[in-house]
Structure 1
Amino acid sequence: MSSLPEELAGVSTVDCTDMHVLITGSTSGIGRSAALALGRLGADVIVHGRDSNAGVEVVDKLSEEGSDAMFVEADFASVAAVTELATTVREETDGLDLLINNAGGLFRSNAVTDAGIEYTFHVNHLSPYLLTAELLNHLTDDARIVTTASGAHRGASLQLDRIQGDHRLSGMRAYSHSKLANILFSSELARRLAVGNHNITANSIHPGAIPGTGFSRFLPKPLPALVERLDTVPGVTAVADGAAELLFVGVSPRTAEISGRYFAGQRPRSPSDAAMDHDAAKRLWSKSAALLEIPEPLAPPTSTND
């Protein structure tokens, strides 16, 4: 059986020539795997991460495939760094055909960013929100936006009163909360794009619980070593499978007209009830803009049933 993500996603014959793609968090894990696959399909890829050595290694591999690739370093805990990343993308490309919001992680500490926001929420949700807002006017007419969420959102409820102050969520609860925010953000984005008659799709995905991505390094010992050993266990999701999920939603003809959905196993799935709460999605959208001190991107839907 093939281990190439493009074959697992059924997109190995899709021609991505002349496509410009930005994948955040693409120096390792599923982001790196998806970036290399898109390069093999002909896309020009902007690689993002915090490790410049790893970024250069991915760019070199993409260049070998004929991709016009570049690496941009940006810390997603920094508002200024994300804004600068968006500026670089606008300066280096004529337009963006695919934006994959993949960067993120699970962080054990109860730290805050320089903006005073709980660290996990800022990195996993607020920065993708800002990056997307900064690039909306740079997206091509039929662009796609894919956001990496997680099945870990189940059981979480939106608690915007706990992203600042002395009663912040931490650890796995903060991660689950941020992944819920990813789904709410993506669905609200899709609704607002539709209201504005933009032919741009926005979807979120669950890539699976994947050893080998580095995710487990944020867990307390001895869990990191135990989780990484699962990579050899049959039935456990592999990095290529997670990358295939990104490719399936990002470039497959089968998903070209689908927007506002949550995908898992290369199928639209129903997320939790909390993730389908349109009022919560609107509150998150407005609160995110307020925290970033930017105008709300796009016009709002006219009702909770839109």
Structure 2
Amino acid sequence: MSTSPLDLAGVRDVDLSGTTALVTGSTSGIGRLAAVALGDLGASVIVHGRDESAGRNVVADIESRGATAQFVAADFTSVSSVRTLAETVRSETDGLDLLVNNAGGVFRDGGLTDLGVERTFHVNHLSPYLLTTELLDHLAPGARVVTTASAAHQGATLDLDAVSRPDGFSTFGAYSHSKLANVLFSAELARRLDATGRDVTANSVHPGAIPGSGFMRFLPGPLPRLVQALDRLPGITSVADGAAELLYLAVSPRAGDLSGRYFSNQRPTEPSREARDPENARRLWVRSAELLDIDEPLVAGRKSD
């Protein structure tokens, strides 16, 4: 059985020649495999991360397989860095056909960024929100926006006051809350894109629990070693499986007409009750713009900001 993400997603025959894709968080893990696979399908790929050496390695890998790629560094705790990333994409490409909001983190300690926002929420939600809104006018007709969420959103309750308070920090609680925000963000983005007549889809995806991605190294105490040991057990999601989840939603013709959905195991799946609440999605959207001190994006009656 093939372990290629292209085969696992059933998209090997998709032709992405002439398209441009940005995959954030693509210097390692599922983002890297997804970026390389998109290059294999013919896309020109923008690789993103913080480590320039790792980024150059991914670009070299993509180019060695016959595709074009470039690396753009950006720190997702910095508003100006995310804006620079968006400006680079706008200035160096004619349009963006695929935006994969995959970058994210898990942090052992609480702390506020320069915005006065808890770091996990800033990195995992506010930066993808800002990047997406900065690129709205650059998205080509038929473009797809895919945001990496997680089944960890289950059980989280939206608390927009807590994101500005450092007290009571919980690593998993903060992560779960940020993943709830990812699902709500994608749903509200899809609704507003449709309301403003944009031919762009937006969905979120649970890529699976992936010990081999190295993502769990941020967990406290002995948990990273315990989770890593699970990678040797049958039935555990591999990095290739996780990349396939991204690829399916990003390029499969079977997902092309769906928007505002949460995917798991390559099919639309019902998220938590909290994630299905349209008022939660609206409140998150508006509050995110306020925290970033920007005009509310995609207000009905105007194309974008």
Give the shorter-chain TM-score range.
over 0.9
Partner in structure 2 of residue 103 of structure 1:
103
Alignment partner, residue 276 of structure 2: 276
Q: CA deviation at 1:226?
A: 1.8
Q: Report if aligned partners of 2:39, 2:67 keep a CA contact under 8 Å in 1.
A: yes
CA deviation profile, 1:164-210 (whole Å, cap 9, x unmatched): 13446431000000000000000000000000111100000000000
Cα distance in structure 2, aligned partners of 1:165 and 1:264: 32
Query: Counterpart of 2:94?
Result: 94
- Provide Cα deviations, 1:281-305, integer angstroms capped at 9, x if missing partner: 000000000000111110259xxxx
Are 2:112 and 2:166, in contact at CA under 8 Å, matched by a contact in 1?
A: no
Once residues 278 and 184 of structure 2 are traced to their aligned partners in structure 1, the CA distance between those partners, rounded to angstroms, is: 8
Q: Which residue of 2 aligns with 1:253?
A: 253
Tell me the secondary structure at the aligned position of residue 2 of structure 1.
coil
What CA deviation, in whole Å up to 9, does each residue of 1:257-297 have, x standing for no partner?
00000000001000000000100100000000000011111
Contact 1:183 1:275 in 2 (8 A): yes
> What is the CA–CA distance in structure 2 between the aligned matches of 1:166 and 1:113, rounded to whole Å?
10
Q: Secondary structure at the match of 1:232?
A: coil
Cα distance in 2 for partners of 1:120, 1:69 equals: 29
Tell whether the 8 Å contact from 2:191 to 2:260 is kept in structure 1 after alignment.
yes
Q: Please state whether the residue corresponding to 1:67 is helix, strand or coil.
A: coil
Contiguous gaps of at least 5 residues in structure 1: 302-306
Query: Gaps (5+ residues) in structure 2?
Result: none
For the pair 1:190 / 2:190, whether they are aligned, the reply is yes
The residue aligned with 2:68 is 68
Q: Which residue of 2 aligns with 1:30?
A: 30
Determine the C-alpha separation between the residues in 2 that align with 1:251 and 1:168. Answer: 40
Match of 2:221 in 1: 221
Q: How many residues align?
A: 301
1:223 Cα deviation from its structure 2 partner: 1.2
Task: Verify the 8 A CA contact 1:152 1:176 in the aligned structure 2.
Answer: yes
Q: Once superposed, what is the RMSD of the aligned Cα atoms?
A: 1.1
Partner of 1:59: 59
* Equivalent residue number for residue 202 of structure 1: 202
Other-structure match for 2:171? 171
- 1:304 aligned partner: none
Instruction: Note the C-alpha offset of 1:232.
Output: 1.8
CA offsets 1:119-155 (integer angstroms, 9 cap, x no match): 0000000000000000000000110000000000000
Identity of paired residues, percent? Answer: 62
Question: Secondary structure of 1:22's match?
Answer: strand
**Aligned pair 1:299/2:303, yes or no?**
no
- Quote the residue 1:152 is aligned against: 152
* Aligned amino acid, residue 14 of structure 1: V
Matched, 1:115 2:115: yes
Give the SS at the match of 1:295: coil
Q: Answer with 5-14 or 162-171: which moved more.
A: 162-171
CA distance in 2: counterparts of 1:68 and 1:37, whole angstroms: 12
* Counterpart code for 1:87: E
For residues 22 and 65 of structure 1, the distance between their equivalents in structure 2, rounded to whole angstroms, comes to: 18
> Partner of 2:106: helix, strand, or coil?
coil
Task: Tell me which residue corresponds to 2:19.
Answer: 19
User: Is the CA contact (8 Å cut-off) linking 1:193 and 1:199 kept in structure 2?
Assistant: yes
1:163–1:169 Cα contact (<8 Å) kept: no
Once residues 256 and 275 of structure 1 are traced to their aligned partners in structure 2, the CA distance between those partners, rounded to angstroms, is 22
- Check the 8 A contact 1:118/1:168 in 2, yes or no: no
Q: TM-score, normalised by structure 1?
A: 0.97
**Is contact 1:76–1:82 with CA below 8 Å preserved after alignment?**
yes
Moved more, 270-279 or 103-112: 103-112
* Superposition deviation, residue 66 in structure 1: 1.7
Structure 1 position 221, deviation (Å): 2.1
Q: Distance in 1 between matches of 2:169 and 2:195?
A: 34
